[in-house]
Structure 1
Amino acid sequence: MKHSLLYCLAATSLTLSFFYDRTPATDPSTAPAPVLTEASLFPSWTPATPAPPAADHTAASSRDSLAYNYYAHTLGLKLDFDENKALLRTVTDWLGTPYRYGSSTRRGTDCSGFVSRVFQEVYGITLQRSSRSMFQSVKRISKTEMEEGDLVFFRRGPGQPIYHVGIYLKDGKFAHSATTGGVMISSLRQAYYNRNFYAAGRVETN
């Protein structure tokens, strides 16, 4: 009986030593929680980086202001800074081009050649080549309805044919290629142009 009790105690001791000798990591209840990075949980995920700051519109606004101020000074206009900048830039680039009948290049251009080139460059519109043909293709508007980009036509008295065309800008001023002076800015209030002004027309884009 004594030996049986000793055998039982020995067996119990061996059993307990087996459990206590096991590596703690194999026991889910005692193993330390694994340290997982966010990248291991979401392999395709990378830590969010701060979004780049929104584009600084201050510099762009400053450039626009400088451009409009330059056009205002060069063309002699009082601008609201919401005008068609492409039109102002193109007209400015053509200023000083000498008059040359039948031509439409920077080396020389007549009035209809200048107007047709500006419309092609700014609006992508191909106009008729002569001032009379242009007049036939525009929508007639009153002088009080004129807006930038409208065309102004001139003739030397009642019953006379149209002989000149320009592009209206604003404040009564228009760009044109004059026989004396080439491409320039003039005013409809000037006696000569006021007297010979015939009509205004709008190029329809549709």
Structure 2
Amino acid sequence: MKNSILYCLAAASLALSFFFEYAPDSPNTAGRTYSAATASLLPDFSGDNGDDTHPATTRDSLAYGYYSQTLGLKLDYNEDQNLLRTVTDWIGTPYRYGSNSKKGTDCSGFVTRVFKEVYGITLQRSSRSMFEKVKRVGKDEMQSGDLVFFRRGPGQPIYHVGIYLQDGKFAHSATNGGVMISSLNQPYYHRNFYAAGRVETN
């Protein structure tokens, strides 16, 4: 019985030593025998590292990390958070032709809602009408927020639109899955990609 108590005390002592380290007295530590060592076990979210901007930086880092994981993007942590947040909020919304709500949306409905929420811009309701209003940009010049348009072959009308994000990825509402992130390198979208356009804010 005595041995059991001693073993328990030894185990408790070992566990406590994991969380606390002995700090010998010095002019700066007089009167304090132990200092917590939790900082070595957990990330520092306190913001107390001599950098006044650290709390905001930490929040931004967490946000970018979340967007990166949710959208499948490799972010530089300087992208438009408002666009990333809004697109993230719409991910998983089901496809519904002629609608533009979180209960269901088609491709142009999704694009118009995002542009209204992020940029305060009211776009035309159809992908073809949008294409007539944008400034054409080359595929190698696309920037985050540009629109990408698709058609099923030469001479065919535009039938689909999405919002370019980066690294060949774009957000759109697809008939076979609703709002999602896809790649322009996927065979279907690579084959049907027609053009990119930039909405002029002036």
**Where does residue 159 of structure 2 map in the other structure?**
163
2:77 counterpart of 1:84: no
Question: Is it true that 1:200 corresponds to 2:193 in the alignment?
Answer: no
Identity among equivalent pairs (%): 78
- How much does 1:55 deviate? 8.5
| Deviations 1:181-206 (CA, angstroms, capped at 9, x unpaired) | 00000000000000000000000011
Q: Once the two structures are superposed, what CA deviation does each residue of 1:147-166 show, in whole Å capped at 9, x if it has no partner?
A: 00000000000000000000
Partner residue in 2 for 1:151: 147
Do structure 1's residue 138 and structure 2's residue 142 form an aligned pair? no
Q: TM-score, normalised by structure 2?
A: 0.75
| Alignment TM-score, normalising by the size of structure 1 | 0.73
Per-residue deviation, 1:57: 1.2
- Closer, same or farther: CA 55–124 of 1 in aligned 2, 3 Å: farther
CA distance in 1, matches of 2:65, 2:51: 23
Counterparts of 1:28-107 in structure 2, within 5 Å, are 56-107=52-103
Aligned-partner Cα distance in 2 for 1:56–1:93? 30
Separation in 2, partners of 1:77, 1:203 = 23
* CA distance in 2: counterparts of 1:182 and 1:139, whole angstroms: 27
Between structure 1 and structure 2, the one with the greater Rg is 1
Once the two structures are TM-superposed, the CA of residue 56 in structure 1 deviates from its matched residue by: 2.6
Q: Which deviations, in whole Å up to 9, do the C-alpha atoms of 1:61-114 show, x marking residues without a partner?
A: 000000001000100000001100000000000000000000000000000000
Aligned: 1:187 with 2:183: yes
- Tell me the secondary structure at the aligned position of residue 82 of structure 1: coil
Aligned to 1:174: 170
The CA distance in 2 between the partners of 1:205 and 1:89, in whole Å, is 20
Q: Matched residue pairs, number?
A: 153
The runs of 5 or more residues in structure 2 that have no matched partner are 1-49
